[in-house]
Structures are given as C-alpha cells and as structure tokens.
C-alpha cells in the first residue's frame, strides 16, 4: 500500500488507526532515512496507546520500554547495531512472547530477522519545499496483520485520497 501524508496530523492519524487495531505480540518495523519521522510516528502511536511517559529516540540505548499504556510497548532503534549478536541480546522475541508490542526503527537493516511484521517505510517526497509531506509505503510480512488488513486499509483510504492498495 502507498499513499502521501501532508502534515503531522496525518502522521498522527496513521498512528491512531494502527494503534486501534493493535494486538499483543505485534511487530512494527519502521524504515526510511534519518529525519523522515520514525520516532515522531512512535510518539503519536504511544499517545494513542495511552502511554503517559515521554517517548524519546532509543538511538543510543537501542531499546526503551513503556508500561503505562493499554499494552506494553518496546521501542528499539537498530541504527547503531554493531554486530548481529546484539539483536539477540535485545530479546525482542521474548518481549513479544509475553504479550508486548515491538516497534523497531531501522528494523529493515536486519533483513527478515524480526519475523512477521507490519513494515512502514517513510520517505521525503521529491518536492523539498513540502516540509511536512512524506510518502508512506506499508507492507505486510507473514500472517500477523493479514486478517485485520482490509479494515485498516479501508480506514486509511477515507483520509488518504491517493492511497493505492497492493
Ligand atoms: N508529516 C510528518 N511526520 C513525521 N514527522 C514530520 C512530519 N513533518 C515534519 N516532521 C518532522 O520531521 C522530523 C522527523 O524526525 P524523527 O526523529 O521522527 O525522524 P526519524 O525517522 O526517527 O530519524 P532517525 O533515523 O534519525 O531516528 C521531526 O522534526 C518532525 O517534527
Ligand atoms: Mg528516530
């Protein structure tokens, strides 16, 4: 699926729709260049889950955990991952096993290692003047989000008029 967003409010809407369909054990991979909005998206997503702690970028610690929302959120950033063993050390699959939701910035750099996931790719559009615009591409890996996907895409299509499915 592909569509464009034009504002921070659009990013918040995307986060709210996805958060409203969230289930324990979900994995969301956030891909895209620096400054495209991965952390900003996570902040809106956390707010939609009722998280009251401030959500900050886990660039240096690799993993932050938030327990105050209606589901536990584990927010990782693999940008500084130096060896593949470090990914196993984070224990993301164990956090999923106990019902946590895992959101991973730069999660695409480890290929398919994170398993079934919703993959959201953020990009700056070609028009550099449009500072709040982003192009968004969402793909599903595995079965995890499949049964919800029709509803999610219908809700997104009501807001994003250029949305193309597939
Ligand atoms: N529509 C938008 N959605 C998200 N962020 C936006 C949007 N428009 C402008 N921005 C701004 O772009 C910046 C995105 O920074 P953010 O830290 O979220 O990027 P990031 O993808 O997490 O980068 P990094 O790879 O360094 O972690 C923020 O300053 C945010 O306010
Ligand atoms: Mg970030």
Each residue's pLDDT tens digit, 94-146: 999 999 999 999 999 999 999 999 999 999 988 767 899 999 999 999 999 99
pLDDT given for residue 66 in this prediction: 98
pLDDT bucket at 59, cuts 50 / 70 / 90: confident
The domains located in the chain, with CATH, are 2-159 (3.40.50.300)
Alpha-carbon gap, residue 145 to 74, rounded angstroms: 18
Contact 116, 104 (CB under 8 A): no
Average pLDDT over residues 49-54: 98
Give the per-residue pLDDT at 129.
77
The tokens for 9 are 């409010």
Q: Is the CB of 37 under 6 A from ligand 1?
A: yes
Number of residues that make up the chain: 166
6 pocket-lining for ligand 1 (C-beta < 6 Å)? no
- Residue 54: both structure tokens together: 């401030």
Give the integer Cα–Cα distance in Å for 8 and 43.
11
The pTM of the full predicted model, rounded to 2 decimals, is 0.97
Instruction: Indicate if ligand 1 lies below 6 Å from the C-beta of 43.
Output: no
The reported pLDDT for the residue numbered 106 is 97
């Amino acid at each position: 699926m592909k569509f464009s967003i034009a504002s921070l409010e659009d990013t918040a809407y995307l986060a709210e729709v996805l958060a409203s369909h969230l289930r324990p054990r979900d994995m969301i991979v956030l891909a895209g260049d620096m400054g495209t909005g991965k952390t900003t998206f996570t902040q809106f997503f956390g707010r939609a889950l009722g998280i009251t702690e401030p959500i900050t970028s886990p660039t240096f610690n690799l993993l932050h955990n938030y327990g105050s929302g209606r589901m536990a959120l584990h927010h990782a950033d693999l940008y500084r991952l130096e060896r593949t063993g470090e990914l196993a050390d984070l224990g993301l699959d164990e956090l999923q096993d106990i019902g946590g939701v895992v959101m991973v910035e730069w999660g695409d750099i480890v290929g398919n290692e994170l398993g079934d996931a919703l993959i959201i790719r953020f990009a700056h559009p070609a028009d550099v003047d449009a500072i709040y615009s982003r192009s968004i591409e969402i793909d599903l890996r595995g079965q995890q989000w499949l049964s919800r996907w029709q509803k999610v895409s219908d809700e997104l299509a009501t807001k994003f008029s250029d949305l193309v499915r597939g």
